Chains A and B, each alone.
Chain A
Amino acid sequence: MKIAVTVNGTREEWDVAPAETLLDALRDHGYRGAKRVCESGECGACAVIVDGLAIDACIRLAVQSDGSQITTVEGLETADGLHPVQEAFTANGAIQCGFCIPGMVVTAANYLEMNPQPTEDDIRHVFIGNLCRCTGYKKPVEAVLASVSEEVGRRED
């Protein structure tokens, strides 16, 4: 089946199978930042922003996204550099193996558009759908807080 999507600002036409997930379609077309982990919407490692909302691409069919605007982790970086959340994750030691990190960064970036001044508790609850087995979540949560404060890039001691 043919679908048209706009990924990170570029319009693309994809030929997809009826049962193909958006995650598989994205990965097949070179957007491999979204990771395959649980394939049942439990862990958030495949999170991408579809029409303004972060969703788990593993439990959405590609055909459901016909006509959609999609932002993947690859689309967060601009010509001006990293997204503030990406910058903060890098500077705050929030990344270990990094397999869950694209999903976390996408989820956080999307959430901050809706709530630009979150509390620590807000971020912890937004990350309920993003499982991480390396970090204990402390530094990722601190990184999101840092991304909306002036502390980004402070850590070079």
Chain B
Amino acid sequence: MKTELSMVGRRAPKIDAVKLVTGRATFTDDVEMRGLLHAKVLKSPHAHARILSIDTSRASEIPGVHAVITHRDVPRNPYTSAGQSWPEPSPYDMYVLDRKVRFHGDAVAAVAAETPEIAEAALEAIGVEYEELPAVTDFRQSMGAGAPIIHDEPESYGIYDASRNIAAHIDVEAGDVEKGFRLADVIVENEFDVQYQQHTCLEPHVTIAFLDEDRRLVLRTSTQIPYHCRRMVAFALGIPVRNVHVLKPRVGGGFGNKQEVVTEPIAAVLAMKTGRPVKLEYTRTDEFTIARNRHPQHITLKTGVRRDGSIVANALSVLTNTGPYGTHALTVTGNTGTKPLPLYRAANMKFYADIVYTNLPIAAAFRGYGAPQGFFAMEVHMDEVAEALGIEPLEFRRMNHIRVGDTDLMSAAAGEGAGKKPRVIHSCGLPECIERGAEAIGWYQKRGRPGDGPIKRGVGMCILMQGSGVAGDELAGAALKMNEDASFNLMVGSADIGTGSDTSLAQIAAEVLGVPLENILIKSGDTDDISFDYGAYASSTAYITGMCVLKASEDARQQIVAAAARMMDEDPEGLLVHDEKVTSLSGKSVTLQEVALECLYGESKTVIIGKGSHATKESPPPFVAMFAEVEVDTETGQVRPVEIVTAVDVGRAINPDICEGQVEGAVAQGLGYALTEEILVDADGRVLNPTFMDYKIFCAADMPTLTTILVEAEEPTGPFGAKSVAEIAINGPAPAISNAIYDAVGVRLHSLPMTPEKVLAALDCRGER
């Protein structure tokens, strides 16, 4: 293999950029479907109720209504909507339609009609008799004696303790924390609270389901997980996997909300019942009320340290609200402990968690996947630990962070990596990230200088790690085929949901095959292809699918070399593939086009098909040092982020523009989590702010200056040294800003979002005003 890289490392424009910027790209709803029916779902007006009866007769008689379905019309197969590898580590506690509703907006019935208006009219004509049940709308009460049991149905399984509303439970220890605390000179304990956050993918959940000419179910759907979706829908509906064909068109953002089977099952049932194409599309209100969210948590951290700054014991415990269903319950909270804890070297660590049901909106996967909650707590807490010891916070992190050669004990203790081999750190660019980030923000010049006047300035920082795929639980298959003009059809099962993975993967193939990027024709996310993939989640695509594409391309390259050797009468050893040709040391050469034509039509009659399959036990962490500068208005409590510097170790930036874009987008989403975003729910469990007007995400004018520094500590197990980049930066803004607020005004914020009200209350408590 060449050492000089020509395609990898380039800021190549995204291969889908032109069609996206001209409006030609087709997302799920951008096609013409003759005879398309519109589906609508009847939603529960109660947080918790049993359905005593449903009368659909009037609705069915409305002209233009083609189907009305209730729990009587769907198979009662328990499933989870969590798109994870089989068997999913989430409880099987959902039904396509159920006899019970468990939160405001839970599905009661569905209709398919000629127009959306007729479908709406049909919903109004459905008569439902409910028996209202007491509801749990405070997750601190879920496990309490006398709390109503949310999953009392006998068919559900995989629930840790349904009788106490506990969806999942974690209790792991590495070493002996009690012994560790006895060795400590100082023990610091803190509590933190984090809120519901909504992904707000611009494209809502949408599925068009139809039967093809072979009566196979086709799901054209906005998903991160085409292959999991195929299997999960088949299992939930009790039909063979072979009868389901999932097509992922362009996807308008996912962020974890589409690592779920959400609109697919009902659309599928309606299409099978009517024999017509059916579209089920969520409205923006639906996205805010019945889609998925980031889990709210209450987190307690207790850390024992010696005077010399070493950590002897670190214990984290979590109470998590998963809402009415346990989708991703165990694994998201698993990450809340298993990502932040190992970042700090300590002989003794403990991680304890209960993940409980409530009659509130559904929480599930969301970029960062539990780590944003954990890092907010850990990184504010570690600032306080450093302060208790009188050690400068940046220096304290330098002393204690994980290093190359260290074993991450927590990775094998809990979550999706549980029971697997602990991960060993092979690459770590954190020292360089800290160094360059501190330099860029002006850490030593700005720290401890709040200034005069009512508006104070402060700087704060944090360090972070994530993973690159789920350790030991990832698989990708890809294939590519050589055409006459030395172009290649590359088929991958991964889902480019806007991440740029189609481009990064094509760059890897082009690099290996010695062709320009336009020679790679990539098709992703079609389950009828020669490909397979767990999907776009856990920051896995560049690392896992990237290595798979590298293997498939290498396989094709070897076949090309063999054919060229025959054509040139040369030894295959020593032949080089580059610049669309194969050359020998003796100076002979053939073009790739000549090779392709010879293979397809000449003597050899061989189709060059490279294939690859890749799985690994590794999940190398990318690292970040993030620095925030803020202004705090002591009169209004308003916090204005001025600059965010993110220095990120990505191993190798396959496409620096894409890497920076992932970081900048994650920071923007993390800023909302830190300062403005929160799904508000009333005492009955109803969402109060289901619009962009009332749920504030950052807009262009709100953004601070973003500085992104790419650090490349090459990862030996990754394609061209690459690790992941997609999620990690979202973990940083909340702790970095909380720490910067402390530098500015001397108060610690332990609750998100850090609204003006909370800042003022904290200042009042300190008698600052």
Assuming the contacts A93-B657, A131-B699, A133-B697, asked whether A98 and B20 have C-beta atoms less than 8 A apart, the reply is yes
Instruction: Tell me if B691 and A40 are in contact (CB < 8 A).
Output: yes
Q: Which residues of B contact A101 (CB under 8 A)?
A: 20-21
Instruction: Tell me if B22 and A96 are in contact (CB < 8 A).
Output: no
- Would you call A60 an interface residue if the criterion is a C-beta within 8 Å of the partner chain's C-beta atoms? no
Assuming the contacts A76-B22, A97-B497, A134-B661, asked whether A42 and B703 have C-beta atoms less than 8 A apart, the reply is no
Chain B minimum-CB-distance residue to A72: B23
Assuming the contacts A89-B21, A96-B661, A96-B665, asked whether A130 and B252 have C-beta atoms less than 8 A apart, the reply is no
- Would you call A141 an interface residue if the criterion is a C-beta within 8 Å of the partner chain's C-beta atoms? yes
- Would you call B157 an interface residue if the criterion is a C-beta within 8 Å of the partner chain's C-beta atoms? no
Instruction: Tell me if B202 and A45 are in contact (CB < 8 A).
Output: yes
Q: What is the bound-complex CA distance between A11 and B700, given in angstroms?
A: 35
Q: How far is the CB of B758 from chain A (nearest CB, A)?
A: 24
Instruction: Tell me if B202 and A138 are in contact (CB < 8 A).
Output: no
- Would you call B50 an interface residue if the criterion is a C-beta within 8 Å of the partner chain's C-beta atoms? no
- Would you call A132 an interface residue if the criterion is a C-beta within 8 Å of the partner chain's C-beta atoms? yes
Instruction: Tell me if A127 and B700 are in contact (CB < 8 A).
Output: yes
- Would you call B588 an interface residue if the criterion is a C-beta within 8 Å of the partner chain's C-beta atoms? no
Q: Which residues of B contact A72 (CB under 8 A)?
A: 23
Instruction: Tell me if A97 and B498 are in contact (CB < 8 A).
Output: yes
The prevalent SS among residues of B at the interface is loop
Binds A, one of B7-15, B37-45, B557-565: B7-15
Chain B minimum-CB-distance residue to A37: B202
Q: Which residues of A contact B14 (CB under 8 A)?
A: 90, 93, 95
Within 8 A of A (CB), among B667-685: 667-669
Q: Which residues of B contact A128 (CB under 8 A)?
A: 699-701
The prevalent SS among residues of A at the interface is loop
Instruction: Tell me if B668 and A137 are in contact (CB < 8 A).
Output: yes
Q: Which residues of B contact A124 (CB under 8 A)?
A: 700-701, 703
Q: What is the bound-complex CA distance between A72 and B23, given in angstroms?
A: 9
Q: How far is the CB of A3 from chain B (nearest CB, A)?
A: 20
Q: What is the bound-complex CA distance between A13 and B294, given in angstroms?
A: 46
The answer, among A39, A105, A123, A137, for a CB contact under 8 Å with B283, is: A39
Instruction: Tell me if A42 and B692 are in contact (CB < 8 A).
Output: yes
Q: Which residues of B contact A123 (CB under 8 A)?
A: 700
Q: What is the bound-complex CA distance between A140 and B202, given in angstroms?
A: 16
- Would you call B30 an interface residue if the criterion is a C-beta within 8 Å of the partner chain's C-beta atoms? yes
The answer, among B21, B200, B284, B665, for a CB contact under 8 Å with A82, is: B21
- Would you call B500 an interface residue if the criterion is a C-beta within 8 Å of the partner chain's C-beta atoms? yes
Instruction: Tell me if A90 and B17 are in contact (CB < 8 A).
Output: yes
Q: Which residues of B contact A140 (CB under 8 A)?
A: 700
Instruction: Tell me if A95 and B202 are in contact (CB < 8 A).
Output: no
Q: What is the bound-complex CA distance between A20 and B230, given in angstroms?
A: 36
Q: What is the bound-complex CA distance between A131 and B287, given in angstroms?
A: 16
Q: What is the bound-complex CA distance between A86 and B284, given in angstroms?
A: 27
Contact with B along A20-64 (1 / 0, CB 8 A): 000000000001111111111011010000000000000000000
Q: What is the bound-complex CA distance between A34 and B25, given in angstroms?
A: 11
Q: How far is the CB of A58 from chain B (nearest CB, A)?
A: 10
Q: What is the bound-complex CA distance between A10 and B109, given in angstroms?
A: 44
Instruction: Tell me if A98 and B25 are in contact (CB < 8 A).
Output: yes
Q: Which residues of B contact A100 (CB under 8 A)?
A: 202
Chain A minimum-CB-distance residue to B14: A95
Q: What is the bound-complex CA distance between A72 and B22, given in angstroms?
A: 9
Assuming the contacts A95-B17, A128-B701, A131-B202, asked whether A73 and B22 have C-beta atoms less than 8 A apart, the reply is yes
Chain A minimum-CB-distance residue to B284: A38
Q: How far is the CB of A138 from chain B (nearest CB, A)?
A: 5
Q: Which residues of A contact B667 (CB under 8 A)?
A: 136
B-side interface size class: 35 or more
Instruction: Tell me if B692 and A43 are in contact (CB < 8 A).
Output: yes
- Would you call B706 an interface residue if the criterion is a C-beta within 8 Å of the partner chain's C-beta atoms? yes
Q: What is the bound-complex CA distance between A86 and B253, given in angstroms?
A: 20
Instruction: Tell me if B665 and A136 are in contact (CB < 8 A).
Output: yes
Q: What is the bound-complex CA distance between A37 and B206, given in angstroms?
A: 11
Contact with B along A101-139 (1 / 0, CB 8 A): 110010000000000000000011101101111111111
Q: What is the bound-complex CA distance between A45 and B706, given in angstroms?
A: 24
- Would you call B18 an interface residue if the criterion is a C-beta within 8 Å of the partner chain's C-beta atoms? yes
- Would you call A14 an interface residue if the criterion is a C-beta within 8 Å of the partner chain's C-beta atoms? no
Instruction: Tell me if A155 and B657 are in contact (CB < 8 A).
Output: yes
Instruction: Tell me if A135 and B17 are in contact (CB < 8 A).
Output: no
The answer, among A37, A130, A138, A156, for a CB contact under 8 Å with B664, is: A138
Contact with A along B38-70 (1 / 0, CB 8 A): 000000000000000000000000000000000
Q: Which residues of A contact B24 (CB under 8 A)?
A: 33, 74
- Would you call B124 an interface residue if the criterion is a C-beta within 8 Å of the partner chain's C-beta atoms? no
Q: What is the bound-complex CA distance between A68 and B90, given in angstroms?
A: 54
Q: Which residues of B contact A92 (CB under 8 A)?
A: 657
Q: What is the bound-complex CA distance between A81 and B314, given in angstroms?
A: 60
- Would you call A77 an interface residue if the criterion is a C-beta within 8 Å of the partner chain's C-beta atoms? yes
Instruction: Tell me if A157 and B11 are in contact (CB < 8 A).
Output: yes
Chain B minimum-CB-distance residue to A140: B700
Q: Which residues of A contact B27 (CB under 8 A)?
A: 35, 99
- Would you call B132 an interface residue if the criterion is a C-beta within 8 Å of the partner chain's C-beta atoms? no
Q: What is the bound-complex CA distance between A42 and B692, given in angstroms?
A: 6
Q: Which residues of B contact A7 (CB under 8 A)?
A: none
- Would you call A91 an interface residue if the criterion is a C-beta within 8 Å of the partner chain's C-beta atoms? yes
Instruction: Tell me if A135 and B661 are in contact (CB < 8 A).
Output: yes
The answer, among A86, A97, A134, A141, for a CB contact under 8 Å with B21, is: A86
Q: What is the bound-complex CA distance between A89 and B20, given in angstroms?
A: 10
Contact with A along B594-614 (1 / 0, CB 8 A): 000000000000000000000
Assuming the contacts A91-B13, A138-B664, asked whether A36 and B23 have C-beta atoms less than 8 A apart, the reply is no
Instruction: Tell me if B11 and A35 are in contact (CB < 8 A).
Output: no
Q: Which residues of B contact A131 (CB under 8 A)?
A: 200, 202, 692, 697, 699
Q: How far is the CB of A9 from chain B (nearest CB, A)?
A: 16
The answer, among A36, A38, A39, A134, for a CB contact under 8 Å with B253, is: A134
Q: Which residues of A contact B16 (CB under 8 A)?
A: 98
Assuming the contacts A42-B692, A82-B21, A93-B658, asked whether A133 and B201 have C-beta atoms less than 8 A apart, the reply is yes
Q: Which residues of A contact B692 (CB under 8 A)?
A: 38, 40, 42-43, 131
Q: What is the bound-complex CA distance between A96 and B658, given in angstroms?
A: 8
Contact with A along B692-711 (1 / 0, CB 8 A): 11000111110100100000
Q: Which residues of B contact A91 (CB under 8 A)?
A: 13
Q: Which residues of B contact A156 (CB under 8 A)?
A: 10-11
Q: Which residues of A contact B17 (CB under 8 A)?
A: 89-90, 95
Contact with A along B626-666 (1 / 0, CB 8 A): 00000000000000000000000000000001101100111
Instruction: Tell me if B706 and A93 are in contact (CB < 8 A).
Output: no
Instruction: Tell me if B693 and A138 are in contact (CB < 8 A).
Output: no
Contact with A along B175-217 (1 / 0, CB 8 A): 0000000000000000000000001111110000000000000
Q: How far is the CB of B308 from chain A (nearest CB, A)?
A: 40
Interface-central residue, A35, A97, A137, by most chain B CB under 10 Å: A97
The answer, among B22, B202, B668, B697, for a CB contact under 8 Å with A97, is: B202
Instruction: Tell me if B11 and A155 are in contact (CB < 8 A).
Output: yes
Known: A40-B692, A127-B700. 6 other contacts (CB 8 A): A73-B21, A91-B13, A96-B253, A123-B700, A133-B697, A139-B660
A: which residues have CB within 8 A of B? Answer: 31-40, 42-43, 45, 72-74, 76-77, 82, 86, 89-93, 95-102, 105, 123-125, 127-128, 130-141, 155-157
| 17 A-B pairs whose Cβ atoms sit less than 8 Å apart in the complex | A32-B23, A32-B29, A33-B23, A43-B692, A74-B24, A86-B22, A93-B14, A93-B660, A98-B250, A98-B252, A101-B20, A101-B21, A128-B699, A128-B700, A131-B202, A131-B692, A138-B664
Top 4 A-B residue pairs of the complex, sorted by shortest distance between their CB atoms: A33-B23, A97-B498, A93-B657, A99-B252
